[in-house]
């Protein structure tokens, strides 16, 4: 697609691996410098291992391999001061901000009434509050800069239809979808566009081993909710990054306030 982001700067959370890394590399491949952060830790409620500092270092290497610069920080999106400091460090290095991708997120599985208070709180805090903090830190910078900009929140197709076994995750992602629409209305006057993307399954390090027993237990009644129309199984992180880059580019200058599925047709089922 050329250099759609030449001379621009993208701020990406959850950038150590998976979709966040793919987005960092995508933006860099099209000319952007990158401000990246990741908690680089294992979360208490998740069945999979978290990203590591080595993962974040690999993202740095891959961005630099594209000939671009990156400021990468180990920071937890639940810590507003840390998010703000990471963003400030990147803006100090690069002098501006153009695109924001609130991508950091976690997931675990349980029947809604069996979700523990700890699971609920950690999921809401990381996914929804983390996205809010990311936007809260970035929006004043974009307004002050006065050149518009783009914000993309990573939600989930589950928030559009209500996926079984993920009540806490769905609630957090549905909150992100609503926040997207609200901020789009508020920020349009500043030519700052706000959209969300809603992937189906994406092949990343988020391996949901805890959902397998539930899928087997309710195979006849609830498993059809996970069916897709396009028989590709899962999307790649690059598939999502391509859509995020489009929504962040000038090609999408009249697109704001949408909740875009990247779901192989799952939401239509």
Which residues are within 8 A (CB) of 50 and not within 5 positions of it... i.e. 6 or more apart? 39, 40, 41, 42, 43
On whether residue 63 sits in a domain, the answer given is yes
pTM metric for this prediction: 0.93
Give the contacts of 141 (CB within 8 A, at least 6 positions apart): 87, 91, 97
Residue 165: alpha-carbon gap to chain centroid: 21
pLDDT category at 263 given cuts 50, 70, 90 is confident
In a domain, 1, yes or no: no
At 73 the three-state DSSP class reads strand
pLDDT band, very low/low/confident/very high, at 217 (cuts 50, 70, 90): confident
- Which residue would you say has higher pLDDT here, 266 or 56? 56
Is 4 domain-assigned? no
Q: Are 110 and 132 in contact (CB under 8 A)?
A: no
Q: Which residues are catalytic?
A: 169
Is the pLDDT at 1 greater than 90, yes or no?
no
Determine the average pLDDT of the residues in 255-259: 98
Rounded alpha-carbon distances, angstroms, from residue 169 to 53, 57, 63, 162? 25, 28, 30, 10
Is the Cβ–Cβ distance between 54 and 74 less than 8 Å? no
Following DSSP, what letter does each residue of 182-220 receive, concatenated? HHHHHHGGGTEEEEEEEES-EESS---GGGHHHHHHTTT
Helix axes 18-29, 53-65, angle to 10 degrees: 20
Which pLDDT tens digit goes with each residue over 67-97? 999 999 999 999 999 999 999 999 999 999 9
- When mean pLDDT is compared across 26-40, 149-163, 198-212, 229-243, the lowest value belongs to 198-212
Q: What's the pLDDT band for 227 if we cut at 50, 70, 90?
A: confident
**How many domains would you assign to the chain?**
1
Tell me: pLDDT of 181 over 60: yes
Buried b (16+ CB within 10 A) or exposed e, 106-131: bbbbbeeeebeeebbebbbbbbbbbb
Q: What is the DSSP letter of 147?
A: S
Domain holding 66, by residue range, is 9-263
Nearest to 118 by CA among 83, 110, 76: 110
Whether residue 68 contacts residue 34, with contact meaning beta carbons closer than 8 Å, is answered with yes
**Do the beta carbons of residue 97 and residue 9 sit within 8 Å?**
yes
What proportion of the chain, given as a percentage, has pLDDT over 70?
94
Higher pLDDT, 254 or 265: 254
Q: Mean pLDDT, to the nearest integer, of 106-126? A: 96
CA 189/CA 143 separation, integer angstroms: 10
3 domain residue, yes or no: no
Distance, CA of 71 to chain centre: 18
User: Which tens digits make up the pLDDT trace of 31-64?
Assistant: 999 999 999 999 999 998 999 999 999 999 999 9
CATH number of the domain bearing residue 182: 3.40.50.720
């Amino acid at each position: 697609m050329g250099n759609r982001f030449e001379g621009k700067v993208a701020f990406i959370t959850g950038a150590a691996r998976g979709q966040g890394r793919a987005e960092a590399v995508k933006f860099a491949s099209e000319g952007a410098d990158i401000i990246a952060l990741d908690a680089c830790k294992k979360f208490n409620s998740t069945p999979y291992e978290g990203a590591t500092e080595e993962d974040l270092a690999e993202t740095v290497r891959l961005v630099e391999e594209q000939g671009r610069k990156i400021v990468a920080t180990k920071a937890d999106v639940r810590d507003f001061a840390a998010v703000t400091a990471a963003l400030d460090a990147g803006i100090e290095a690069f002098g501006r901000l153009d695109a924001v991708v609130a991508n950091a997120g976690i997931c675990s599985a349980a029947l809604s009434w069996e979700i523990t208070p700890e699971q609920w709180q950690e999921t809401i805090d990381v996914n929804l509050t983390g996205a809010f903090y990311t936007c809260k830190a970035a929006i004043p910078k974009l307004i002050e800069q006065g050149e518009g900009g783009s914000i993309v929140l990573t939600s989930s197709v589950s928030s559009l239809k209500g996926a079984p076994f993920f009540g806490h995750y769905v609630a957090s992602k549905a909150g992100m979808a609503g926040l997207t629409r609200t901020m789009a209305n508020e920020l349009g006057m500043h030519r700052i566009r706000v959209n969300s993307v809603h992937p189906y399954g994406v092949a990343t390090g988020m391996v949901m081993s805890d959902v397998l027993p539930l899928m087997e237990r309710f195979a006849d009644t609830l498993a059809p909710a996970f069916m897709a129309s396009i028989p590709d199984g899962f999307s790649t992180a690059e598939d999502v990054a391509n859509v995020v880059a489009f929504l962040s580019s000038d090609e999408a200058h009249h697109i704001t306030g949408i909740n875009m599925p990247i779901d192989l047709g799952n939401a239509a089922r």
